[in-house]
Structure 1
Amino acid sequence: MTRTESHRGLAVVTGASAGIGRATAKALEQAGYAVISASRRLPTVPPAPSSITTHQLDVTDADSVAALARTVDDHPLPLTLLVNNAGIPTAAATIADSDLTDWRGTYDTNVVGAVQTTQALLPALIRNRGHVQFIGSTVGRVPYERGAAYAASKYALTAMVQTLRLELCGQPVRITEIAPGMMRGDEAGGEFMRTRFKGDKDAIAAVYQGVEHPLTPEDIAECVVWCATRPTHVDIDLMEVRPLAQAAQHKVHRTA
């Protein structure tokens, strides 16, 4: 599909170098969008010719976000979708022992970065009757021990998304949060767990011990596309997604 054949307009996906972001960029292209795949790490292998273009982006840097906005403004297609996916995990630590640098860095990326990117692109999205999606987490509603920094950032993201929905009531733009539960996927999912458990392979394996079919990045990408392709008067405010084996944050069925 060439860029001119993309009939749904332009989509921007942040944090798109791997994991949910990369899967979402591919799924949106297949659904008929031209896609800007924005991330701090650009792929080392040039992508095959497609309607996906890469753009280096640090959501915590105002100049970097402004450069993204200029790229969007210069694009021949109207911006109709922003997927705020960029985010970072934190190492497992109790509140008493956690590093406040982790708290500040996580909040700056997971919350302020999403706000900054949304601010920059919102005028175009309103003008084009667009859609803003945020990738949150079920931990943004139910926390777990030794995960307060990450959970707090996702709670804050949820509050921001809900407030934005209220503030834009009456404007022609849709707002959606997609909150995944237990995931296991490509290197991004692996990176999350390696960071959380500081590379301890046994600790990582224990999380998934006996769990059949955790969510994959492709599962969440399908959710993004489904929400984006509803009729323009239909807004999916919140979609919580868990694997069948996970009934709640603390209740997971294990076969062994």
Structure 2
Amino acid sequence: MLFDDAHAVTGASGGIGRATAEALEKAGYTVISASRRLTTIPSAPTGITTHQFDVTDADSVATLERTVAEHPVPLTLLVNNAGIPTHAATVADSDVTDWRGTYDTNVIGSVQTTQALLPHLIRNRGHVQFIGSTVGRVPYERGAAYAASKHALAAMVQTLRLELNGEPVRVTEIAPGMMRGDEAGGEFMRERFNNDPEAIAAVYQGVDHPLTPEDVAECVVWCATRPAHVDVDLMEIRPLAQAAQHKVHRTS
């Protein structure tokens, strides 16, 4: 039996987004699953509807807003998950096109989507969550463009929370650390390391149980299901092997 709530998830074709859409549907919510790659968005018997959506395209964002407005179930949660990585490169050697593309998706895309759906969330006493990263607090070498985008996202989330003070909307950032799975071990890392399997394998060499997308999805659901007066401002999660951004226990 579904609750009388709709939850929208962006970037839902794989990784954290797909796992989150499935976890929310399993928890009993109607899910509006939005992604650029429509064919690989998860499907479910009753609880998930799929929509082609690009956070960087204003017309696409407007279409999603109309979908939400016409949906028979009120929107009470937006999960801003859509994001892209950058190629591993030093600041001196990086391509500024990477910087622009990453910022446009990871930051501006989240801003556009939030702006479009925020009136619904305010009206329905809702909740907006953002999937950030621990790199949004502590950067690492050869990852400046991605780290900069996640730092900017974190600043935007903190500002939004200040600006919405007094409104019935909760604002949460979930910041995962080292993660492997559909997203981190797949397209995300292939893009970052230019499809170099040895470079990807080196990241996880000897690391026991990195995070999975399902781990992060469980955190999204937990934050969303707290009482309405409880706002989880920031949740940082890492695998046990990762004590800090720069300190990872490896068995080999």
- Picking from 211, 214, 218, the partner of 2:210 is 214
TM-score when normalising by structure 1: 0.96
SS at match of 2:38: coil
Q: CA deviation at 1:43?
A: 2.2
- Picking from 169, 194, 197, the partner of 2:165 is 169
Distance 1:234 1:117 in 2: 24
Distance verdict in 2 for CA 1:180–1:216, change over 3 Å: same
Distance 2:112 2:238 in 1: 28
Identity among equivalent positions (%) equals 82
CA offsets 1:178-233 (integer angstroms, 9 cap, x no match): 00000001156411111111011011001000000000000000000000000000
SS at match of 2:100: helix
Q: Indicate yes or no: 2:125 matched with 1:125.
A: no
Distance 1:45 1:184 in 2: 19
Distance verdict in 2 for CA 1:189–1:130, change over 3 Å: farther
Structure 2: stretches of 5+ with no match in the other structure? none
TM-score when normalising by structure 2: 0.98
Q: How does 1:174-253 map to 2 (within 5 A)?
A: 174-187=170-183, 189-253=185-249
Aligned to 1:64: 60
8 Å CA contact 1:6–1:51 kept in 2: the answer is: yes
SS at match of 1:207: helix
Q: How many residues align?
A: 252
Distance 2:154 2:41 in 1: 35
Q: CA deviation at 1:37?
A: 0.6
Distance verdict in 2 for CA 1:26–1:170, change over 3 Å: same
CA offsets 1:143-175 (integer angstroms, 9 cap, x no match): 000000000000000000000000000000000
Show structure 1 runs of 4+ deviating over 2 A: 43-48
Given residue 59 of structure 2, which amino acid in structure 1 is its aligned partner? D
Aligned-residue RMSD, C-alpha:
1.2
Q: Indicate yes or no: 2:7 matched with 1:11.
A: yes
SS at match of 1:43: helix
SS at match of 2:102: helix
Q: Indicate yes or no: 2:12 matched with 1:32.
A: no
Q: CA deviation at 1:32?
A: 1.5
SS at match of 2:78: strand
Q: Indicate yes or no: 2:90 matched with 1:94.
A: yes
Distance verdict in 2 for CA 1:137–1:81, change over 3 Å: same
Distance 2:234 2:52 in 1: 29
Distance 2:168 2:30 in 1: 21
CA offsets 1:81-125 (integer angstroms, 9 cap, x no match): 000000000000011110000000000000000000000000000
8 Å CA contact 1:8–1:32 kept in 2: the answer is: no
Structure 1: stretches of 5+ with no match in the other structure? none
8 Å CA contact 2:134–2:236 kept in 1: the answer is: yes
Q: Indicate yes or no: 2:62 matched with 1:73.
A: no
- Picking from 79, 82, 101, the partner of 2:78 is 82
Indicate the larger mover: 182-191 or 155-164. 182-191
Q: CA deviation at 1:49?
A: 1.8
